[in-house]
Each structure stands twice: as C-alpha cells, then as structure tokens.
C-alpha cells in the first residue's frame, strides 16, 4: 500500500467519524434545526437542558445505575471466571459457552423477556403467586433495573477475567506456595493482583456501558417515569411539538463528554495490562483448585444466574409468541397458536424489517468487515502519526451509544445534499451500523492481522512485491479465516442491534431492532414477541454457524 493510498483511506475514515459529531456540536449551538429558517447561534439549548429537572434526574439515575451494575457485575463476573477457569467445577465445559449468551441477545429483546417472565402479570410472576399468594417483587423499580443491568453485564467481566486467569500459569502460584505462602495468601497476593488489570478494565467498561443503557430502561424504567440519559434523549424528540434538534444535540454532547474519558481510560488500562503478559509465567499446565463441598453451591449459583438472566426471559418470550394471549385465567391448551407470526405477513413494513435485517447483517456485515480490513491494512505495520491518529479516532464512535450515532448520522444524511437520496435506503442503516461497531470490528480484524509474523510480509517486499501486492498475496489470504469469523460475529451484532436504527427508521430502512422500539411504544405486544422470537432465531443461526466454523477450523 502506497503512502498516499494509506493517507487517503485514513482521512476518509476520519471524515466519516468526525463529520457527524461536528454536526452535533454545531446543532447544539443553534436556536432551531440546522436546516430551518432564521436559525441563529445561541446557548439557549444548553440553558434549557441544564435547567431542566428531568435532565438532572436522568443523569443522576444513569450514574446510580452505572455504579450499581458495576458493583454487581464485577464481583459476580470475577467469581464465575474463577470457578470456570481455575476450579474443578462440575460441568464447566458444558456451561461455559452459555456464559456469554446475554452478550449476544439484544438487550431490548431481553428486556421484553423480563417483562413477560417477571412483570406484574408475567408468566413466572403468576406462577409464583399461585404458590405463595402474592408476587414478591416489582419489576418496574430502579432496584430491579440495576440488578438486571448488573447481571446481564456479567459476561463483559467474565470474558476479560477468564482470559486473564487462563493466561496465568500455575507456576507463579506454585512459586509462591513453595516460598511458604498458604493458598488464601497466594490468591490474595499473587493471583488477584495479576488479574487486577483485567478486572479494572472490565469495571470501567461496565460503568461506561451503564451510560449507554437504552433498551433496559426504556422497557423497565420508563413505565414508572424513571428516565436515564438515553431515554431522556429519546423523549426529547417531540417535547416541543417540533423536532427539538438543538436540545437533543446538547444531550448527545453530554453523553459523549462522559463516555470519551472513560474510553480513553479503558485504552490506557488495556495498554498497562499488556505489561503483565510477559510476566505471566507459563500457561498451559494449569492445575485446577479443588473447591470440595463448595462445588454444588457454586454450580447452583451459576445455574440460577443463567436461569434468571437468559433462560427464563428468553423461554417466556418465545413461549408467549406462540400464545394467543396471556393474562390471569388464560388456559394454555386453548391459547397455543401461530397467529402472531401469520399476522406479521399482513404488515409490509414488518416483513421489510425482517428482510432488511438479514440483508444488513449478511451482505452489509460482509461489506463492513471488508471495510474494516481495508482501514486496518491502511495502518497495518505503519509507524506514522497517521496510524496513531486513526487509532485514537476509532475510539470516538465507541464513545457514541448507538442511539446517538444513529441520530448524528441521520443529521448528516439530512444535511449533506448529495447524501439526501440515500437517507431512506438501507445504505444509511449500513453506514450507521458500520460506524457504531467500527472499534469492535477493527479489533476483530486487527487481532488476526497481528498474528501474522512481520517477517512474512517483509519477505514479500524483499521479493520485489509492492505493499498492495503483499497485502493480496500474503496478508489477506492468511487472515481469511479470521475475516470469516469476524463476519459471523458482525452478523450477530448487526442482527441484534436496535438503538442505532431508531432515528433512521423510515419506509425502506426498517430493521427488526428499530421496529421493536416503535412497536413497543404502540403497545403491540403480539407483534413485539413474534419479531423478538425471529430476532433470537437469527442470532442463534449466526452463533450456530460460528460454532460449526470454529469446530472446522480446529478440527
């Protein structure tokens, strides 16, 4: 790849990243929508938002939820990681793939599942009431929101804590044991400090995701009038009767201003945690710690967590999709039906939504991976300020929750004349998805690129091939399987995405995720459960392919 080509790609990426945010910044300082007449520069929007009691309540709730879910997710995730990786837990091999399930199911769909399972007339609630005479919980409360948010984010901690523990060889612990330290002392002075960077990193990640929460508070807190930042933004859409773009822009700036430092902090933590890699000892010959009689309580804890966060909500939701109605006194045998799925066919927008979701995830996902690969190649093995610049730039979309990025991109398509015709096509959705998941996708692609020894590429150059020729002959063929895996993961990610499409929803750009948000608002529960079930099925399909693909690679 020649230098101008690299710079061109990096510059184009930077434009795509910065343009939406710049537009938001400009919009926040205007008196009305940027495309309106007689718009002038004014700090009014900031004054309005910062004097709005709802804004401060939403901010406070977001902070409380973030802290609460971090306090739940980190210890639970760390304990589960220890049990799976380092203890002789029975059945660990079978249960471990399920541990990540909450990450793969859309949190909006999961929220519906919670309502249908544990809501005031939920399937589990009624069942419990029949046994003890009353429902001992109220799902629509801040406590429950925090608990659910915390428990559904356990996998984010688990994934980092378990890989850190896996890389930690028993030899460093044995070395401590041999100097006379007891097992508990070893855990406290050796094992824990060595995975501390991973725990700290995941704590910041979960805290940050707390500010991004949209689906859970929309479904579980909104009925009580409890707002968080993202739902406050969503509610602002029509607060003044006309689209109050300037107010939304201010909230976007607030959220990005909170998220950006956290993203930078994560990056810093990741860099320092790499330092520990070299001193991790020899992994591989790990001895598992016998936990004896704690085996069964531990197993019960894990099964309870799985049942509460995944199995019951998903099962209830899918079950509900095949029932004509649900409520007190409903008779099961008479209620089983396929009617809800048949009804979908009557609404062209819903059918389009399903088709579009599949297209964006499959074809679009492949294009996105291609684009991520191109951008990654542009900075691959290039010691230059441009490469560092791109490195930091891709953190920016990471700091924009989907709903915000969707909004900002919607404005870009509204603002830039030659983009206007594409606004109501799938291209706008694809562009928004690609940008929102850019940091994630590029990490997937780059992690396989970094596995190629630099020698292999240098050898190509020495043989007389240009950078582009080397990319085609050496780099790309060697990461082919990595790209394939990235595509399947991006497929699942795009299928479950819901918030990014909310503001881009228009005839022609429907996707299941944004349809779910709008259908839920109209109270069309039957449609919501049917669409959710289809969404879950698509995610499962993607994960199934991924599993087969990985098996084939290893076998």
Partner 1 sequence: MAKLSVSDVHVRYGTNPVLKGVSIELADGEIIALLGRSGSGKSTLLRAIAGLEQPTQGTITIGDKTVFDHGCVNVPPEARNLGLVFQSYALWPHRTVRDNVGYPLKVRKMAAPQLRAQVDEVLDSVGLAEYGDRHPSELSGGQQQRVALARALVYRPPLILLDEPLSNLDAKLRDEARVWIRQIIKKYGLTGVFVTHDQVEAMGIADRIALLDGGQMVQSGTPEELYTSPNSFFAADFMGLNDCFEVTIEAIGGEQATCRLGEARIVGRDKSGKRPGEKARAVIRVESLRVVDGPGPARVPATLVTSVYVGSRWEHLFDVAGQQLRAFTTSRLPDAAHHLELPNGQLWIF
Binding residues for partner 1 restricted to 106-165, rule: CB under 8 A: none
For residue 7, state whether it binds partner 1 (rule: CB under 8 A): no
Least distance from partner 1 to the Cβ atom of residue 455, Å:
4
> Would you say 343 and 416 are in contact if contact means Cβ atoms under 8 Å apart?
no
Q: How far apart are CA 5 and CA 167, in angstroms?
A: 39
Least distance from partner 1 to the Cβ atom of residue 276, Å:
22
For residue 460, state whether it binds partner 1 (rule: CB under 8 A): yes
Q: How far apart are CA 48 and CA 544, in angstroms?
A: 49
Binding residues for partner 1 restricted to 314-373, rule: CB under 8 A: none
Q: How far apart are CA 339 and CA 319, in angstroms?
A: 13
Among 217, 177, 223, 167, which Cα is nearest to 197's? 167
The two counts, helices (H) then strands (E), for the chain are 32, 0
Q: Which residues of 286-297 are buried (b: 16+ CB within 10 A; e: fewer)?
A: beebebeeebee
Among 469, 540, 541, 545, binds partner 1 (CB under 8 A): 469
Q: Which is nearer to partner 1, 374 or 465 (CB)?
A: 465
Least distance from partner 1 to the Cβ atom of residue 463, Å:
4
- Scanning 81-89, 353-361, 401-409, 459-467 for contacts with partner 1 by CB under 8 A, the matching segment is 459-467
> Would you say 369 and 445 are in contact if contact means Cβ atoms under 8 Å apart?
yes
For residue 276, state whether it binds partner 1 (rule: CB under 8 A): no
Among 11, 422, 465, 540, binds partner 1 (CB under 8 A): 465
The answer for residues whose C-beta is within 8 angstroms of residue 183's C-beta and 6 or more apart is 177, 289
Among 15, 271, 336, 453, binds partner 1 (CB under 8 A): 453
> Would you say 404 and 28 are in contact if contact means Cβ atoms under 8 Å apart?
no
Q: How far apart are CA 10 and CA 491, in angstroms?
A: 25
- Scanning 88-96, 229-237, 309-317, 461-469 for contacts with partner 1 by CB under 8 A, the matching segment is 461-469
Total number of residues that touch partner 1 (CB under 8 A):
17
CA atoms within 13 A on the CB side of 359: 15
Among 4, 455, 522, 554, binds partner 1 (CB under 8 A): 455
- Scanning 215-223, 245-253, 455-463, 535-543 for contacts with partner 1 by CB under 8 A, the matching segment is 455-463
The answer for residues whose C-beta is within 8 angstroms of residue 109's C-beta and 6 or more apart is 215, 317, 496, 498, 516, 532, 535, 536
Q: How far apart are CA 375 and CA 442, in angstroms?
A: 8
Q: How far apart are CA 199 and CA 164, in angstroms?
A: 9
Least distance from partner 1 to the Cβ atom of residue 454, Å:
9
Least distance from partner 1 to the Cβ atom of residue 7, Å:
16
Least distance from partner 1 to the Cβ atom of residue 464, Å:
5
Q: Which is nearer to partner 1, 421 or 454 (CB)?
A: 454
> Would you say 216 and 149 are in contact if contact means Cβ atoms under 8 Å apart?
yes
Q: How far apart are CA 173 and CA 522, in angstroms?
A: 57
Q: Which is nearer to partner 1, 462 or 548 (CB)?
A: 462
SS (H, E, C) 90-113: CCHHHHHHHHCHHHHCCHHHHHHH
Least distance from partner 1 to the Cβ atom of residue 491, Å:
25
Least distance from partner 1 to the Cβ atom of residue 472, Å:
11
> Would you say 390 and 378 are in contact if contact means Cβ atoms under 8 Å apart?
yes
Print the binding letters for residues 30-69 with partner 1: x by CB under 8 A, - otherwise. Answer: ----------------------------------------
- Reported residue count of the chain is 555
Least distance from partner 1 to the Cβ atom of residue 473, Å:
7
Q: Which is nearer to partner 1, 113 or 460 (CB)?
A: 460
Binding residues for partner 1 restricted to 509-548, rule: CB under 8 A: none
For residue 464, state whether it binds partner 1 (rule: CB under 8 A): yes
For residue 4, state whether it binds partner 1 (rule: CB under 8 A): no
Q: Which is nearer to partner 1, 401 or 460 (CB)?
A: 460
Placement of tokens 């926040």 in the chain: 28
Print the binding letters for residues 472-511 with partner 1: x by CB under 8 A, - otherwise. Answer: -xx--xx---------------------------------
Among 185, 196, 288, 461, binds partner 1 (CB under 8 A): 461
Q: How far apart are CA 282 and CA 396, in angstroms?
A: 36
Q: How far apart are CA 112 and CA 110, in angstroms?
A: 5
Q: How far apart are CA 125 and CA 114, in angstroms?
A: 10
For residue 463, state whether it binds partner 1 (rule: CB under 8 A): yes
Least distance from partner 1 to the Cβ atom of residue 6, Å:
13
Q: Which is nearer to partner 1, 262 or 474 (CB)?
A: 474
For residue 271, state whether it binds partner 1 (rule: CB under 8 A): no
Least distance from partner 1 to the Cβ atom of residue 402, Å:
37
- Scanning 230-238, 307-315, 319-327, 465-473 for contacts with partner 1 by CB under 8 A, the matching segment is 465-473
Q: How far apart are CA 256 and CA 73, in angstroms?
A: 23
3-state class (DSSP) for residue 87 = strand
The answer for residues whose C-beta is within 8 angstroms of residue 273's C-beta and 6 or more apart is 164, 197, 198, 200, 201
For residue 450, state whether it binds partner 1 (rule: CB under 8 A): no
Binding residues for partner 1 restricted to 392-411, rule: CB under 8 A: none
Complete DSSP assignment for 432-464: HHHHHTHHHHHHHHHHHHTTS-HHHHHHHHHTT
Q: Which is nearer to partner 1, 384 or 425 (CB)?
A: 384
Residues that bind partner 1 (CB under 8 A): 453, 455-456, 458-466, 469, 473-474, 477-478
């Amino acid at each position: 790849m020649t230098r101008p080509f690299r710079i061109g790609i990096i510059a184009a990426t930077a434009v795509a990243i910065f343009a939406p945010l710049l537009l938001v910044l400009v919009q926040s300082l205007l008196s009305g929508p940027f495309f309106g007449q007689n718009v002038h520069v004014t700090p009014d929007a900031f004054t309005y938002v910062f004097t709005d009691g709802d804004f401060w309540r939403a901010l406070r709730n977001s902070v409380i939820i973030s802290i609460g879910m971090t306090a739940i997710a980190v210890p639970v995730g760390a304990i589960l990681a220890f049990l799976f990786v380092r203890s002789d837990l029975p059945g660990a091999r079978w249960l471990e793939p399920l541990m990540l399930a909450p990450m793969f199911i859309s949190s909006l769909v999961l929220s519906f599942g919670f309502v249908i399972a544990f809501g005031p007339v939920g399937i589990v609630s009624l069942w419990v009431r029949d046994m003890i005479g009353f429902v001992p919980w109220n799902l629509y409360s801040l406590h429950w929101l925090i608990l659910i948010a915390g428990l559904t984010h356990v996998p984010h901690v688990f994934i980092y804590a378990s890989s850190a523990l896996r890389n930690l060889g028993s030899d460093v612990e044995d070395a401590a044991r041999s100097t006379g330290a007891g097992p508990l002392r070893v855990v406290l002075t050796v094992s824990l400090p060595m995975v501390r960077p991973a725990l700290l990193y995941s704590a910041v990640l979960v805290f940050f995701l707390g500010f991004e929460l949209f689906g859970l508070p929309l479904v579980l807190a909104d009925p009580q009038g409890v707002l968080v930042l993202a739902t406050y933004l969503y509610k602002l859409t029509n607060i003044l009767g006309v689209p109050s773009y300037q107010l939304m822009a201010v909230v976007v700036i607030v959220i990005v201003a909170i998220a950006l430092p956290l993203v930078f902090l994560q990056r810093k933590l990741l860099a320092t945690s790499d330092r520990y890699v070299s001193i991790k000892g020899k992994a591989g010959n790990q001895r598992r710690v016998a936990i004896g009689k704690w085996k069964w309580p531990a197993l019960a804890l894990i099964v309870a967590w799985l049942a509460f966060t995944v199995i019951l909500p998903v099962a209830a939701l899918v079950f509900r999709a095949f029932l004509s109605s649900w409520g007190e006194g409903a008779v099961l045998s008479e209620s089983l039906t396929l009617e809800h799925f048949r009804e979908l066919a009557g609404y062209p927008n819903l059918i389009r939504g399903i088709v579009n979701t599949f297209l964006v995830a499959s074809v679009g996902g492949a294009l996105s991976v291609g684009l991520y690969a191109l951008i990654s190649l542009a900075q691959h093995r290039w010691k230059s300020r441009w490469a560092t610049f791109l490195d930091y730039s891709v953190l920016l979309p990471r700091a924009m929750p989907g709903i915000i990025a969707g909004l900002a991109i919607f404005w870009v398509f509204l603002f830039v004349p030659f983009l206007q015709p594409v606004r109501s096509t799938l291209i706008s959705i694809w562009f928004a998805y690609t940008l929102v998941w850019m940091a994630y996708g590029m990490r997937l692609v780059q992690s396989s690129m970094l596995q190629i020894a630099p020698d292999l590429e240098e050898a190509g150059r020495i043989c007389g091939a240009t950078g582009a020729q080397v990319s085609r002959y050496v780099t790309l063929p060697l990461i082919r399987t990595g790209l394939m895996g990235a595509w399947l993961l991006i497929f699942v990610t795009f299928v479950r995405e819901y918030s990014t499409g909310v503001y881009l929803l228009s005839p022609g750009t429907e996707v299941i995720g944004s349809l779910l948000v709008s259908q839920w608002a109209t109270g069309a529960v039957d449609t919501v459960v049917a669409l959710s079930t289809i969404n879950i099925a698509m995610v499962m399909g993607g994960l199934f392919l991924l599993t087969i693909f990985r098996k084939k690679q290893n076998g």
